[in-house]
Amino acid sequence: MKKIIAAGVVITLGALGLLQESFPQNSASATVSFRLAPAMSLSVLGTNPQGNSVVSVYTIPRPTEQERQAGFIERLRALTLQARSNAPWALRVRAYEPSMGTSDDGTYRKPVSDFEVRAAPGPYLPLSVNDQTVTRGPSGEHIIVLDYRVQLGPQHRDGTYSVTLIYTITTP
């Protein structure tokens, strides 16, 4: 939490010309201090602030042949968030469930750790059901561009996969 101190509040009655005869040489001073609680909001860019968390559902498309050869599906600028804070902040992400669904043939459950997120241009971070810090910043308004990547390892099978992501802004 930030501590802001307003100091040096001095009232000189003599300088104001008030009660000069009764208190010609007197003055009073006081130090006032208060704490400013962190105020933070997070929203999808272009929407009103929604509080300190945002839920996003991403449906994973079927990979193209090029994506299969590369070993991953990548979506740049998949989501853009706006963080507003009067204190330093951290953006955290977690998956709602440990898997993204089952393959069409029912033989494979795609783990959520195959899904990776990054605040561009940073490194990708594999998801889990636990909060992980994606990025952090100083007080103010910030635009956060997020990229997604889905690993298509040797065990990958086609299916209808989706992931629910929970983004939270908090103090570091």
Query: Where are the domain boundaries for CATH 2.60.40 in the chain?
Result: 40-170
Report how far residue 139's alpha carbon sits from residue 87's, in angstroms, rounded to the nearest whole number: 4
pLDDT given at position 30? 73
Does position 157 have pLDDT exceeding 60, yes or no? Answer: yes
Burial class of residue 43 (count of CB atoms within 10 Å of its CB; 0-12, 13-18, 19+): middle
Q: Does residue 29 carry a pLDDT above 80?
A: no
Residue of higher predicted confidence among 2 and 152: 152
Tell me what pLDDT residue 7 has. Answer: 38
Pick the CATH number of 40-170 from 1.25.40, 2.60.40, 3.30.460, 2.60.120: 2.60.40
HSE value, Cβ hemisphere, 13 Å, CA-based, for 148: 22
Least confident of 3-7, 65-69, 93-97, 157-161: 3-7
Mean pLDDT of 8-19: 43
